[in-house]
Amino acid sequence: MISTVNIALPVIGIYFKADAADLGWVATSYMLATAAALVPVGRAADIIGRRKIFLLGAALLAIFNFLALFSMNLTFLIFCRLLQGIGGAMIVTTSVAILASIFPPGERGRAMGINTAATYLGLSMGPFCGGILVQNFGWKSIFVSTGVFSLFVFYMILRYIKREWRVAKDEPFDILGSALYVIFLLSFMYGIFLVPQVKSLYFISAGIVIALLFLRHQWIIPNPVFNIKLFLGNRSFAFSNLAALINYAATASVAFLLSLYLQYVKGMSPQLAGFVLVIQPAIQAGFSPFAGRMSDNVEPRYIASAGMALTALGLFFLSRLSLATSFFHLIFALCFLGFGFALFSSPNVNAIMSSVTNEYYGAASSTLATMRLLGQTMSLALATAIFSVKLGKAQIAANLDLFLGSVNLAFFISAITCLVGIYFSYVRGRIHIDKT
């Protein structure tokens, strides 16, 4: 239900009289907070217990979705989105690790495929349900529904999942490393959001310096919050995560950009726009189990690389949007994106979790989730930065030509980024070595 926010952005913009750049913060703040919290939360889950952290995350999501109802200004709404992001991090970083602990390697691809399908089923329902809710009950209804659903998840886990996983219960928590990681990520990403302002250079530079301090600290301590050695000594793990980062950086802004395009340029209602946006994640949900199951027998790099190629093609189609773009053109592009991402995601997750042993499932899960959320944040940051440069504080409705130029530029850059990612996906190495 988190994806419902994208479809509500134009209505939220009217309610708070916000420009395109400010609306980008409503979408980006959740992902930024999640990305910043994933690594520390993942380590905390290994020490405290993955089930406990999952439950805490569901509780935070419920609380701050309900608090968002009382937003009197955009600042408070963004604050609630930040805290929702921390709760989301607790759920994301524990769920894949729990699945990997339960299923053996020969069945893991199928399990990851089903998990991915469930994720995209939620994403596909989000815009559709969100459009209905926003059009009939207003934008606040999406936070009510998400809060209620979070409470339901909390109850189900509390009642039916009794087992706990604490693989590092006697190890210390790296407070300094966690602080450095959070400061680095927030500083670096905030600097990107400030582009083209001069002070953006200060934040980006500070983020790079803090990142170097973080990496040095992680290298010398015995119990790091982020295991750098997994990257240096494991080619499949490193390149699979890099491919995930690139793929999400290229695709995450699609719903944000198309939501604005469909409603501002095509004049669609939130409900109809949500129906269009449901196409991509619905296709992903349908094909992800098949792709995951196939990756149990076929090298994931072949399947995932083909998926990235199809995704790049879909993004190129979207980089040519105009006032006269046909509905068929949009559907065609979204189908390519949906099928391409289905082929990439499940095999890539399977490759990452199969490249490490059981003791590193938590670290691998949080690292993958960090790559995903960091990529998503970078994608939305790029879109927001382009809006800031080309549109500034101008309203979208009065400047459709500038808006279309911004959208097309964002999609073109994303397509090129995805093409680069194909290389890293393909050269990751083998997973099924014993079968070749």
User: Residue 435: which pLDDT band, with cuts at 50, 70 and 90?
Assistant: very low
Residue 435 lies in a domain: no
Question: What does the alpha-carbon distance between residue 20 and residue 80 come to, in Å, rounded to a whole number?
Answer: 19
CA distances (Å), 49 to each of 76, 85, 163, 176, 415, in order?
31, 20, 10, 21, 40
Question: Residue 196, preceding bond cis, omega within 30 degrees?
Answer: yes
Which pLDDT belongs to residue 61? 94
Percent of the chain scoring above 70 in pLDDT: 95
Same-domain pairing of 296 and 194: no
Tokens standing for residue 287 = 């094909």
Instruction: Return the pLDDT at 2.
Output: 57
- Do 129 and 220 lie in one domain? The reply is no
Amino acid at 160: Y
Last residue of one domain, picked from the residues 164, 196, 224? 224
Nearest to 9 by CA among 123, 136, 124, 139: 139
User: What pLDDT score was predicted for residue 317?
Assistant: 95
Number of domain units in the chain:
2
The residue-averaged pLDDT of 94-105 equals 76
Alpha-carbon span 209 to 229, nearest angstrom: 20
pLDDT at 30: 87
* Length, in residues, of the chain: 436
Q: Is there a single domain that holds both residue 9 and residue 63?
A: yes
**66 shares a domain with 187:** no
- 410 vs 192, residue with greater confidence: 410
What is the spatial distance between Cα 269 and Cα 153, in angstroms, rounded to a whole number? 30
CA distance 50 to 46: 6
Residue 130 in this model has a pLDDT that exceeds 90: no
For residue 123, the model assigns a pLDDT of: 64
To which H or E segment does residue 160 belong? helix 140-160
The answer to whether residues 127 and 167 belong to one domain is yes
Same domain as 58, residue 109: yes
Q: From CA 17, how far away is CA 4, in angstroms rounded?
A: 20
In a domain, residue 273? The reply is yes
d(CA 378, CA 363): 22
209 — pLDDT class (breaks 50, 70, 90):
very high
The helix/strand/coil state of 260 is helix
| Cα 210 to Cα 232: distance, rounded to the nearest angstrom | 20
- Rounded mean pLDDT of 368-390? 81
CB 308 within 8 A of CB 340: yes
Residue 353 has pLDDT above 70, yes or no: yes
Residue type, 405: G
Q: 206 and 125, same structural domain?
A: no
First-to-final CA distance of the chain? 42
Structural domain of residue 197, as residue ranges? 174-224
Helix axes 327-354, 300-318, angle to 10 degrees: 150
pLDDT (tens digit per residue) in 270-307: 778 878 888 888 888 888 888 888 988 889 999 999 99
CA distance 344 to 23: 29
**Do 103 and 191 belong to one domain?**
no
Confidence band, pLDDT 50/70/90 cuts, at residue 148: very high
233/356 same-domain check? yes
φ, ψ of residue 272 in degrees (nearest 5): -70, -40
Does residue 436 lie in a domain region? no
In this predicted model, which residue has the larger pLDDT, 395 or 8? 8
pLDDT of 436 above 60: no
Burial class (CB in 10 A: 0-12, 13-18, 19+), 257: buried
What is the identity of the amino acid at 246?
I
pLDDT tens digit string along 29-61?
A: 887 888 788 889 988 888 888 889 999 999 999
Q: Is residue 329's pLDDT more than 60?
A: yes
Structural domain contains residue 288? yes
**Same domain, residue pair 145 and 191:** no
Residue with tokens 């994720």: 119
**Is the same domain home to 415 and 378?**
yes
Is-contact 227 362, C-beta < 8 A?
A: no
Domain at 51, CATH number: 1.20.1250.20
- Record the tokens describing residue 114, joined without a space: 């089903």
| Residues 154 and 192 grouped into a single domain | no
Least confident among 67-71, 212-216, 263-267, 331-335? 263-267
**Residue 187 lies inside a defined structural domain of this protein:** yes
